[in-house]
Chain A
Amino acid sequence: MTQENSDVMNTARLWMIRVNEPGFENWDVFTSWLEADRRHLEAYEAALAEDEWLAHLARGNTVSAWSRPKANADGAASRLRSLFARWPRQAFGGLIAASLAIVMVAVVVMNQGPGMTEIVTPPGQHRTIAMEDGSRIVVNGDSSLSYNPDEPRFVSLDRGEALFEVRHDETNPFVVQAGATRLVDAGTVFNVVSDAGALEVAVAEGAVIYNPEREKIRLNPGDALTRPGPDAPVEVRRIDVTGIGGWHEGILQFQDAPLSAIVRDLARAVGKPIRLADGAARIRYTGTLAVGGSAEEVRVQIAPLLGVTIIEEADGWVMKPANAASR
Chain B
Amino acid sequence: METRSLPAMSGDQQSGGLQSYALSERPKLLRFLAARGAGDEAEDLLHELWQRIAASPVQPVADPMAYLFRAAENLIRDMRRSRLSREKRQYDWHDTSVVPEEQPLGERVLIAREKLRAVEAELDRLGPRVSTVFRAYRIEGVSQAIIAREMGISLSSVEKDLQKAYRAIAELKAKLDSE
Contact = CB atoms under 8 A, between A and B. Distances in A.
B141 A73 contact: yes
B4 interface: no
Q: Classify the secondary structure of B's interface with A.
A: helix
B6 interface: no
A103 B106 contact: yes
Interface stretch (A61-69, A254-262, A296-304): A61-69
A170 interface: yes
A170 B89 contact: no
A66 B139 contact: yes
B91 to A, nearest CB: 14
A61 B116 contact: yes
B56 interface: yes
Contacts of B89: 149
B98 interface: no
A21 B162 CA distance: 12
B163 A17 contact: yes
Given A23-B66, A133-B78, A95 B116 contact: yes
Contacts of B159: 14, 17-18
Interface of A: 9-10, 13-14, 16-19, 21-25, 27-28, 31, 34-35, 41, 45, 47-48, 50-54, 57-62, 64-66, 68-75, 79-80, 83-84, 87-92, 94-96, 100, 102-104, 109, 132-134, 149-150, 152, 169-173, 184, 186, 209, 212
Given A25-B63, A150-B82, 7 more contacts: A17-B163, A45-B37, A57-B115, A60-B113, A64-B116, A171-B56, A172-B56
Interface of B: 28, 31-32, 35-37, 49, 52-53, 56-57, 59, 63, 65-67, 69-71, 73-75, 77-78, 80-82, 85-86, 89, 101-102, 104-106, 108-109, 111-113, 115-117, 119-120, 124, 128-129, 131-132, 135-136, 138-146, 150-151, 159, 162-163, 166-167, 169-170, 173
Question: Closest 5 interchain pairs by CB?
Answer: A70-B141, A60-B112, A171-B71, A73-B143, A34-B35
